Amino acid sequence: MDARGAAGIVALGLLVLTELGCSSSRGEQPATTPAAEPRPDDGLSLLDSGRTPLEDLEYELKVGASERLLVSQTLSLYDSQAETGRATLTAPLWVRVVGSDTSSFSVVFELGPPALERAGDTGSLGFLSDAEANSQAADAKPPLKARVRLTRTGRVESATRLSREHSPLMEPVLDTLLGLGSLPGTAVGVGARWRTRAGFSTAEADTESEFELLSRDQHAATLRVWRVQVSPEHPERRMRSIGEWSLHRGRWPMLGADRVKIAVPTLGVRLSASFRVAASAPH
């Protein structure tokens, strides 16, 4: 698989890899246009209800609640012996709950500006120079601002940009956040497993995620997640990742990380990548 092919299967999950094959020409988008509409084949399948007691697992977001999170994506390069280089992209994420009804919530978030740091030898990935220039120029650009409509199970019904001229580096991060997956919408217990399928109109990949409920209490739950990402145009190209995520009924999105290892023979390197959403230290 070449570098551009690697990008095609990770557009939802890993921004730095996505930059292997993306153009920087999509930075300016009309305001209030759909950012990522779910495709018709999106859905959820309950595989196992888990052990009793069974209880509903839903979000309970409160209008007016706000939180500052930190999104980071890291790409590490390895030769046959050890790590040779690393690139890390970080961006603040402000989340505000602005509305709700009996079945859904309206959330506004501001994502960015991004910062890219490199260490060691990343010369084999020439795209990083463009990404670094984009991140430096992003200081003069506003954050990506979007309104997201999601159900009480966390399924994204729609997402609409509210900003102009934001950094193009934030577009794949938006797709990633929207593709993290949703909850079963029925009573489940520890050990429950379910599968979701997410595809978005702006993404270069579809993501199938399988969740296992590891633990839960009245307010939170811990999930293990396996993901397979496939390029619709090249179904033979796929990437598998594993992660652990923590959800809180009063917070969206989930916090946690996905990790994946990819071999790119044409570049003579192995890549290890991660996508993480974490709580940010208060300012």
Let me know if residue 98 belongs to a domain: yes
Q: Which pLDDT band holds residue 9 (cuts at 50, 70, 90)? A: very low
Sign of CA dihedral 78, 123, 256, 13: negative
Residues 99 and 101: their CA atoms lie apart, in Å, by 7
CB atoms within 10 A of CB 226: 16
In this predicted model, what pLDDT tens digit does every residue of 121-177 receive, in sequence order?
Answer: 766 555 555 555 555 554 567 899 999 999 999 998 999 989 878 887 788 788 888
Q: Are 145 and 109 in contact (CB under 8 A)?
A: yes
Cis peptide before 113 (omega within 30 of 0): yes
70 has a pLDDT exceeding 90: yes
Is the pTM here over 0.85, yes or no?
no
Let me know if residue 230 belongs to a domain: yes
Q: Within 13 A of 33's CA, how many CA atoms are on the CB side? A: 7
Q: Which residues make beta-bridge pairs with 138?
A: none
206-212 average pLDDT score: 87
Let me know if residue 42 belongs to a domain: yes
21 has a pLDDT exceeding 60: no
Domain span at 207: 3-27+38-279
Let me know if residue 32 belongs to a domain: no
Tally of domains within the chain: 1
Distances (CA, A) of 61 to 71, 145, 169, 211: 20, 19, 28, 22
Let me know if residue 33 belongs to a domain: no
CB atoms within 10 A of CB 74: 19
Residue type at 147 in one-letter notation:
R
Let me know if residue 11 belongs to a domain: yes
> Among 37, 5, 24, 20, which residue's Cα sits nearest to residue 169?
24
